[in-house]
Structure 1
Amino acid sequence: MKVCHMTSAHDSTDVRIFRKECVSLAAAGYDTYLIAQGESREDRGVHVVGVGPAPKGRLQRMTTFARTVYRRALELDADLYHIHDPELLPYACKLKQRGKKVIFDSHENVPAQFSIKTYLPKPVRRLASIVYKAAETNITKRLDAVAVPCTFDGVNIFEGRAKRVCILANYPILEDFQQPRERTQGKEEICYVGSLTYSRGIQHLVQATFRAGKRLLLVGAFADREFEERVRRMPEYACVTYLGEIPNAQVANAISGCVAGAFTDLNIGQYQHVDTFGVKVYEYISLGLPVLLPDAPYTRAMVKKYKFGVYMQPENVDSLAKAIGYLCSHPEEARQMGENGRRAVEKEFNWKTQEVKLLALYRELQGE
């Protein structure tokens, strides 16, 4: 079966799309193609078809570049197409009209996320969310399946909006995160890996770490220059070591000696409603790091079950500083939390458990 993954918004090395889904399919014997920005290559059994650099402007990417991705995909004449971006949904309909099987991989709850789209004026965001959800529903009802990383407040958001739904969690590849090295004695450093934005709680995290008298290691890129300049001007930024964006293969080594990993998403958009954690949390616990988590029903349930971290109010600097101080002043308890998290990853929170579901979905569609 010839399958083609399509993305106009992600790089061809994207971990979820390429390393997890495409590589798993190729290893299972599918003739697997990935169309994405960048150059063409043969990589781990996957035929990567590059369509050049993505345009810098968002509008151009969502229109002309998305059309380029579609046209290149059409030339392959695959049996099944797996799309990864909302802007490709109109082309999903065209592919169905040609008799192809189509999966939409919704990486997030897009309608809920409109509330944090800063490039849209605030009065427009709610209307955009309503219009998008109606259009998304109209299209996904015609497709063969939707993949989504989790439920939201216990609800399958595509229930009644798709023929079949596959919950495909974005758990880490266990082999990428070997047993952690020993902690550096006396090094009381918290780490954060990912996009550096206000909604991710970065401003509050910097203030809280400084207030706790500890160091903060930031790995990732600031979303916009204005926010970066504002954070850098804060006197509390003195506690930060900023590495910027580094290759994914180097992240584990950079953070494995820290006391804990921070996940500080604020209570906006979808963040406090997802029944999963950001992939960075699973990467932290893969390395045996305890985690700082925002207080939410799912967080409470997982911390109670696996005991791999502590929760706090990320909007409350005092609450966050207290949690940081607690983990730093209780090294033996923090070490035990790290071991608990590592065991949870080995047992449940790893990509192999999700690969089984992905391949089952493909076999089901192949058999129709």
Structure 2
Amino acid sequence: MMKKRKVVHITTVHHPLDPRIYYKQCQSLQKAGYDVTLIAPNGEEVIGASDIRIQSLQKRSRRLKRMLLSTFEAYRKAKKLQADVYTIHDPELIPVAWLLKKKSNVVIYDIHEDYETSILQKDYLPKPVQKVFAKAYRLMESFFLRKLELCLAEKYYQEKYERGICLLNYPILDQGAIQAERKTNEASDELIYTGNLSETRGALTQARIPLFHPDVTIRFYGKCAKGLAEQMYVEAKGKQEHIIIEGIERYVPKDEIDQAYLEKQWLAGIALFPYDPHYMRKELTKFFEYMSHGLPILCSDFPVWKAFVDKHQCGIAVDPHDQKAVYDAIEYLRTNREEARKMGENGRQAVVNELNWEKEEERLVAWYHKLIPSHQ
């Protein structure tokens, strides 16, 4: 019997149960017969409940300590494992990937974000410093990535990384959600937002909605800094009871979010982000999750986002800064429940037929078999 090929995924930033890393890539590869280990911060939180072998890194809250000490700790642990394939998930691990690369192994950089653009959006850095850091990052990438395989979470990343392989963040099919029906007589006036919260992800924009549409409530499921949550309550100006934030200073795991989707007939899933170059070309993971649960999408009218919801006829795209447009879109969904149900069903069918992780999983496993031809 052939020995299982050893695969190691490494992150110093993400939670050990990060959906893309843990539930999609690690579990898919283990199911395909690989010996999978995940190196991640605070791994001891999930070791007992995990079916993936996890090696824990010390959690370091300060960015500089994490980039130096956690990176070195991750390298030492990864090197000892002598894996056939290593996958890194954070830009600060690029030098580690370069050090791990040997003639006898494969090292993959899984690119979750457009990090160069992201650096240019860091408000805590002066504009000249942003440009210097972005250029330095681009130069570092061009040097270190030559020996690495590239995995891309977004289609448009291929414009920059032509040789990269796209493995998109489509949802894992949830049979319970697929079989559930949206019953118009049970529909609520509540909106749901899932995913981490930040100003650029529309936290403050969305917190203002109850001011001009007092009939709706918004529930946010995702990690939110305490200071940002306090800002959101200030923005709500007396309508604080209409915004419920479930992830203040804590990571909200996937199973909790999945349960939230099933708890009620949400009016829509929202993604009303302010205009920002970092997000304008992304197809957000939350879009596919909303669709898989039969929810219409209410999102910003970025050209890519509008084209997406128009193509699949699964939602409404509006100017996030136009309160009347947002109000009208919400009111349309409230007063046209059957049309809202059709939007949700259109999205659900698109996920079932095309936009699901099961199809991406096939591509992931086929890619690994190609990278390691002797694996059976």
**Fold conserved (TM > 0.5)?**
yes
Distance 1:335 1:2, change over 3 A: same
What are the within-5 Å matches in structure 2 for residues 127-276 of structure 1? 127-143=132-148, 145-152=149-156, 156-159=159-162, 164-175=163-174, 178=177, 179-180=179-180, 182=183, 185=186, 187-221=188-222, 223-234=224-235, 235=237, 237-238=239-240, 240-245=242-247, 246-255=252-261, 256-274=264-282, 276=283
Q: Please give the alpha-carbon distance, in whole angstroms, between the structure 2 residues aligned to 1:192 and 1:286.
A: 14
What SS class does the counterpart of residue 116 from structure 1 fall into? coil
The answer to whether structure 1 residue 11 and structure 2 residue 12 are counterparts is no
CA contact (8 A) 2:213 2:327 kept: yes
Measure the CA separation in 1 of the matches of 2:97 and 2:368. Answer: 17
| Selected match of 1:23 from 9, 14, 27 | 27
**Structure 1: distance between partners of 2:203 and 2:334:** 19
**Deviations for 1:100-159, whole angstroms, at most 9, x for unmatched residues?**
31000010111011133244334321221111112112211221x11111123x853212
Structure 1 unpaired stretches of 5+: none
1:68 match: 73
Q: Which runs of 4+ in 1 moved over 6 A?
A: none
CA separation of 1:94 and 1:252: change in aligned 2, threshold 3 A: closer
How big is the alpha-carbon RMSD for the aligned residues of Structure 1 and Structure 2?
2.3
Structure-2 change in CA distance of 1:3 and 1:253 (3 Å): closer
SS class of match (1:33):
strand
Distance 2:78 2:185 in 1: 49
Residues 236 and 149 of structure 1: is their aligned pair in 2 closer, same or farther, counting only changes over 3 Å?
A: farther
- In structure 2, the partner of 1:48 is 54
Q: Which amino acid aligns with 1:195?
A: N
Name the CA distance, whole Å, in 1 between partners of 2:188 and 2:97: 51
Q: Are 2:311 and 1:305 aligned? A: yes
- Deviation string 1:178-232 (CA, Å, 9 cap, x unpaired) is 2335456463111111222211122222223431233232323564444322221
Given that 2:97 and 2:107 are in contact with CA atoms closer than 8 Å, whether structure 1 keeps it comes out as yes
Q: Indicate if the aligned counterparts of 1:177 and 1:287 stay in contact, CA closer than 8 A.
A: no
SS at match of 1:353: helix
Would you say the 8 A contact 1:7–1:36 is kept in 2?
yes
Secondary structure at the aligned position of 2:217 is classed as: strand
1:119–1:54 distance in 2 versus 1, CA, 3 Å: farther
Q: CA deviation at 1:10?
A: 1.2
- Residue type of the alignment partner of 1:312: V
Contact kept? 2:200, 2:274, Cα under 8 Å: yes
| Letter of the structure 2 residue corresponding to residue 213 of structure 1 | P
Q: Tell me the CA shift for residue 42 of structure 1.
A: 7.2
Q: What is the distance in 1 between the residues matched to 2:173 and 2:280?
A: 26
Q: How many residues align?
A: 359
| Contact 2:280–2:305 (Cα < 8 Å) also in 1 | no
Deviations 1:45-88 (A, max 9, x none): 5322223x311111111111111011001111111111111011
CA distance, structure 1, for counterparts of residue 66 and residue 159 of structure 2: 29
Distance 1:94 1:27 in 2: 28
Letter in 1 for 2:213: A
CA distance in 1, matches of 2:335, 2:110: 42
Name the CA distance, whole Å, in 1 between partners of 2:373 and 2:303.
39
Using the alignment, how far apart are the partners of 1:244 and 1:326 within structure 2?
Answer: 27
TM-superposed deviation, 1:339: 0.7
2:108 partner letter: I
Equivalent of residue 364 in structure 2, options 358, 364, 367 = 358
Residue 24 of structure 1 and its aligned partner are, at CA, apart by: 0.4
Structure 1 residue 99: Cα displacement: 4.3
- Hey, what's the Cα distance between the residues in 2 that align with 1:126 and 1:237? 40
**Partner AA of 1:242 in structure 2:** I
2:207 & 2:113 partners in 1: Cα distance? 26
Matches within 5 A, 1:27-38: 27-37=31-41, 38=43
CA contact (8 A) 2:210 2:239 kept: no
1:125 maps to what in 2? Answer: 130
